Structure 1
Amino acid sequence: RPAAGAGPGPGADAIIWADQHGDLNTPETSTTGFLDGMALATTLGLCWRAMAAQIPGFKPVDPSRCVLVNARDLDAAEKDLLETLPIIRTECPDWKAAAQRLKADGANQVHMHVDLDVHDPDKLQANRYTTPGGPAPEQVRSAMCGLAGPLSIAGLTISAYDPAFDPKGDVPPLVGELVVDLLSTLEGK
């Protein structure tokens, strides 16, 4: 998959990860060695520690301050890991409880990562890495804005767009709506 994200910016103490994949593999658990499938694991300090330590200002995010939104295509090792880590799992319509948990835990600076393959490919296909199901664009937009409302968003990553899988050009305007709505939400605080 194209760039799954570089992790939170300096000062981020929580992360919202909207993705159809868990991206929680490590070099020890990955069956493919695909680095993008390790992005969230790296952000949480579960792997690639020496490499991540070279990034100025990088500090791993505590797994209890991670919200994983609509992850539905998980490897067996990721499923096992999710049973042991206090990662907050949610679906788009249920964002309120996740936001309340982060806020109650004292999250001050939240990085938001939206991998466009989180969407239902029947509603919006952004790349070739698709799994049936998932939310419609308006559900993703509503959830991300809902999460951003009560939290302090310090950074945003939008990833994994491949125009070859978007012959009608549907993705860019919908991403534009997402960004505008997120900025309006943040400005309205």
Structure 2
Amino acid sequence: MLKDITVIGVPMDLGQMRRGVDMGPSAIRYAGIVERLENLDYRVEDFGDIEIARPEKQSIENEGNLKNLNGVIDASEKLSETVSDVITNKKFPLVLGGDHSIAIGTLAGVSKHYENLGVIWYDAHGDLNTADTSPSGNIHGMPLAVSIGIGHEKLTRISDYTPKIKPENIVIIGARSLDEGERELIKEKGIKVYTMHEVDRLGMTKVMEETIEYLSHTDGVHLSLDLDGLDPHDAPGVGTPVLGGISYRESHLAMEMLAEAEIITSAEFVEVNPILDEKNKTATVAVALMGSLFGEKLL
């Protein structure tokens, strides 16, 4: 991995309707991410937070079953430009969320620098909904669909190009809550998914070995880690917890194996909600996992 890291906060809660996740970047910083990375001999620049426009509650738009569409578009364009500048300057972009809709902007900024970007989507959900299939209209359930070019044109065309990634370059790990439309899209596009059934049956070591091999043809790999991919016992401070998730120790193993493989070229950690948390436990977990991802070892 690059020894220069730029931390970018995205205090976004517009992709869903549960307040508090906008404080995620602050919670992660409070849990010591900058110090953790500096102790691993990385040079860390904290860019601060992307400015998020906040519509008045009574004027929140809902265009075609897409809540806060214009706000998400604005934030995604800003984030895309910032992430792209970081990569141009040969630094590793580490994005802190914020709800998972921020991945629209992150991937838009990352993918333009790669011919064949791979993506590891570590999440309880597929995030492959569209306005037509989403039960809620919350855009944080749509970023992966948007990034493969499916969805509202204003979202798929962030940074004026689409698609950002190819379905065959995606691996979803930890899925255990998929809507019907998402299941159909996964089958139609042949997206690689390790549900919790596969994680339990194969074990995390095998899942990660296969994932690393599956993405070996790509020229960069982005990690998008939603803290609700972990079991709520280990990461309670998330907006959409789903029982039966990946354990804390399994997640460390996954990050450690990615560090050893040296394939991750950008990353984001999302959906930390301090209001729903227990003494900043989830942000602390996020920082510990980042430590492992960036090569931290016990011995």
TM category, shorter = 0.7 to 0.9
Report what 2:255 is aligned to. Answer: 144
Q: Does the alignment pair 1:25 with 2:148?
A: no
Report what 1:101 is aligned to. Answer: 214
CA displacement, residues 106-143 of structure 1 (integer Å, 9 cap, x when unaligned)? 11111100000111112321213111101112211211
Q: Post-superposition shift, 1:152?
A: 2.5
- Structure 1 counterpart SS, 2:158: coil
Q: Does the alignment pair 1:6 with 2:103?
A: yes
Q: Whole-Å Cα distance in 2 between the matches of residues 175 and 169 of structure 1? A: 10
Q: Whole-Å Cα distance in 1 between the matches of residues 251 and 245 of structure 2? A: 9
Q: Does the alignment pair 1:60 with 2:164?
A: yes
Residues 99, 151 of structure 1: 8 Å contact kept: no
TM-score relative to the length of structure 1: 0.87
Q: Does the alignment pair 1:114 with 2:225?
A: yes
CA displacement, residues 127-178 of structure 1 (integer Å, 9 cap, x when unaligned)? 1311110111221121133235335322111000111221232122221111
| TM-aligned CA distance change 1:102 to 1:49, over 3 Å | farther
Percent pairwise identity? 26
Residues 221, 263 of structure 2: 8 Å contact kept: yes
- Structure 2 counterpart SS, 1:70: strand
| TM-aligned CA distance change 1:137 to 1:164, over 3 Å | same
Q: Whole-Å Cα distance in 2 between the matches of residues 83 and 58 of structure 1? A: 21
Q: Whole-Å Cα distance in 2 between the matches of residues 59 and 82 of structure 1? A: 16
Q: Does the alignment pair 1:171 with 2:273?
A: no
Q: Does the alignment pair 1:37 with 2:134?
A: no
**One of 138, 147, 151 as aligned partner of 1:47:** 151
Higher deviation after alignment, 142-151 or 77-86: 142-151
Report what 1:125 is aligned to. Answer: 236
- Pairs aligned (count): 183
Q: Post-superposition shift, 1:31?
A: 2.1
Q: Whole-Å Cα distance in 2 between the matches of residues 138 and 81 of structure 1? A: 31
TM-score relative to the length of structure 2: 0.56
Report what 1:87 is aligned to. Answer: 191
Bigger relative contact order, structure 1 or 2, given CA contacts below 8 A and separation 6+? 1
Task: Report the structure number with the largest CA radius of gyration.
Answer: 2
Q: Which has the higher helix share?
A: 2
- Structure 2 counterpart SS, 1:60: coil
Runs of 4+ in 1 over 4 A off after TM superposition: 56-59
Higher deviation after alignment, 82-91 or 142-151: 142-151
| TM-aligned CA distance change 1:51 to 1:78, over 3 Å | closer
RMSD across aligned C-alpha pairs, in angstroms?
2.1
Instruction: Note the residue ranges of structure 1 that are not aligned, 5 or more in a row.
Output: none
| TM-aligned CA distance change 1:149 to 1:107, over 3 Å | farther
| TM-aligned CA distance change 1:47 to 1:57, over 3 Å | closer
